């Protein structure tokens, strides 16, 4: 498994996964967002990818030549403050539960620490995404915020959960 720049040939496969309203990843990545809004956002993102070169703050997750997901990061304001928020999405459920997400997140943390001024790394999920929570904890992330019952998924309330990791805490 490697993290690499997006190539033009990757876009059709990524578009297929991202814009499919029935894709299983939608049950885990922000399932509390309205499906139509997610579809519109993903369609706009595909158009953006088609029109722009790859960015340093985004990579595809490549397993044996197959694009199975992506990672991204955004610097929190103010720029230069050392706070970076990370994201990870594994499109293909065939790659869930086997360590691909944990390995990708580990590589992305290291890349972020190598190439940015990051002092604090964060990401946010929801309490129903237990695989993501376990992966975070295995890598040394700590829960730093919880907004109780802030998300509704299929009529059930879940917490919004944020994790953080300080540069000095990272153990590759």
Give me the CATH topology for the region 2-169.
Aminopeptidase (3.40.630)
Q: What is the pLDDT of residue 168?
A: 98
Q: Provide the b/e sequence for 126-135 (b: ≥16 CB within 10 Å).
A: bbbbeebbeb
DSSP code per residue over the chain: -EEE---GGGHHHHHHHHH-TT-GGGGTSSTTS-HHHHHHHHHHHHHHHHHS---TTEEEEEETTEEEEEEEEEEPSSTTS-EEEEEEEE--GGGSSSSHHHHHHHHHHHHHHHHS--SEEEEEEETT-HHHHHHHHHTT-EEEEEEEEEEEETTEEEEEEEEEEEGGG---
Indicate if the pLDDT at residue 79 is higher than 90: yes
Reported as a pLDDT band with limits 50, 70 and 90, residue 9 is very high
Indicate if the pLDDT at residue 24 is higher than 90: yes
Q: What is the pLDDT of residue 172?
A: 87
Read off the pTM: 0.94
């Amino acid at each position: 498994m490697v993290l690499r720049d997006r190539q033009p040939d990757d876009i059709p496969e990524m578009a297929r996964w991202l814009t499919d309203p029935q894709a299983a990843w939608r049950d885990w990545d922000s399932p509390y967002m309205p499906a139509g809004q997610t579809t519109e956002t993903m369609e706009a993102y595909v158009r953006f990818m088609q029109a722009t070169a790859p960015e340093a703050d985004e990579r595809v997750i490549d397993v044996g030549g197959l694009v199975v997901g992506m990672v991204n990061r955004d610097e929190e304001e103010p720029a230069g403050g050392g706070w970076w928020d990370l994201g990870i999405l594994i499109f293909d459920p065939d790659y869930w539960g086997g360590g691909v997400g944990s390995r990708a997140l580990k590589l992305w943390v290291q890349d972020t620490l190598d190439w940015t001024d990051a002092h604090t790394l964060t990401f946010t999920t929801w309490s129903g995404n237990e695989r993501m929570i376990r992966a975070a904890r295995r890598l040394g992330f700590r829960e730093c915020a919880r907004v109780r019952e802030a998300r509704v998924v299929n009529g059930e309330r879940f917490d919004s959960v944020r994790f953080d990791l300080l540069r000095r805490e990272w153990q590759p």
